[in-house]
Amino acid sequence: MRKASAAAVFSLLFGVLAGLPAYATDCSTGGFYSAGGYYWVDYSAENLTEQKSTWDCWSMFGLSATTLSAFSNLPGFEIRALSGNATRSFTVPTGEGGHYEIEMFTELYSPDVTWYDQINATVTLYHPATNTTTPYTLYYLNGGQGNDSGSVPYVDIYNVAAGDTITISIQGAWSFNSNAYARFSNVHIFHLLNF
């Protein structure tokens, strides 16, 4: 009788724990940093340098886990479909308006020199107070324009107000040449405090 009771309790406990959601990432939390007299907050709880299948801050489609050779084999993602994307939206917290910078690591190789190998990364800033959207190009390259052996593109956004929404969209395509790749990683949302 005792073994049966213990097994029943264990089964019930396992069932309850299995029903609880896994630890969720707080996508609005930032970390404070300083160097050389400069100060910033990094709102990149998930910067795409992890190899995991479930994401709290990002929506992802048509991507495969990989490493970026130009950045010492840093974990990241590559587009492995005719169309792949990663998207994240971030609402600026109260008291955190000002100057923001969005950056990412990227590399692209197209041995066939084709438009089908490409990365198109954009950032949009939505101002709910005026119902306006401002678009920014973070990065664009296709294989017809050449290869990228590793770069760190960024875009500065000024006059960001609390309550504004910053949306990062990384889209791309793959030509299905097994040697071709369009890769990205280490995507950050920085709130620059004194520069």
pLDDT in tens, 148-167: 999 999 999 999 999 999 99
What average pLDDT does the structure give for the chain?
A: 89
Distances from the Cα of 97 to the Cα of 35, 65, 87, 124, 192, angstroms: 21, 34, 22, 15, 10
Domain count for the chain: 1
Residue 52 pLDDT grade (very low, low, confident, very high; cuts 50, 70, 90): confident
Best CA proximity match to 191, nearest among 45, 52, 9, 44: 44
How confident is the model at residue 62, as a pLDDT? 93
Best CA proximity match to 106, nearest among 126, 83, 89, 86: 86
Which two three-digit tokens encode residue 11? 């089964």
Give the global pTM: 0.85
* Residue for token pair 């609005």: 28
DSSP 24: P
Q: Does residue 96 have a pLDDT over 50?
A: yes
Q: Does residue 104 have a pLDDT over 80?
A: yes
How confident is the model at residue 95, as a pLDDT? 95
Strand partners, 79: 63
Which helix (H) or strand (E) segment holds residue 17: the answer is helix 2-19
Residue 67 pLDDT grade (very low, low, confident, very high; cuts 50, 70, 90): very high
Domain coverage including residue 134: 2-192
How confident is the model at residue 1, as a pLDDT? 39
Q: Does residue 21 have a pLDDT over 80?
A: no
Residue 64 pLDDT grade (very low, low, confident, very high; cuts 50, 70, 90): very high
CA 30 to chain centre: 15
Q: Give the CATH number for residue 28.
A: 2.60.120.260
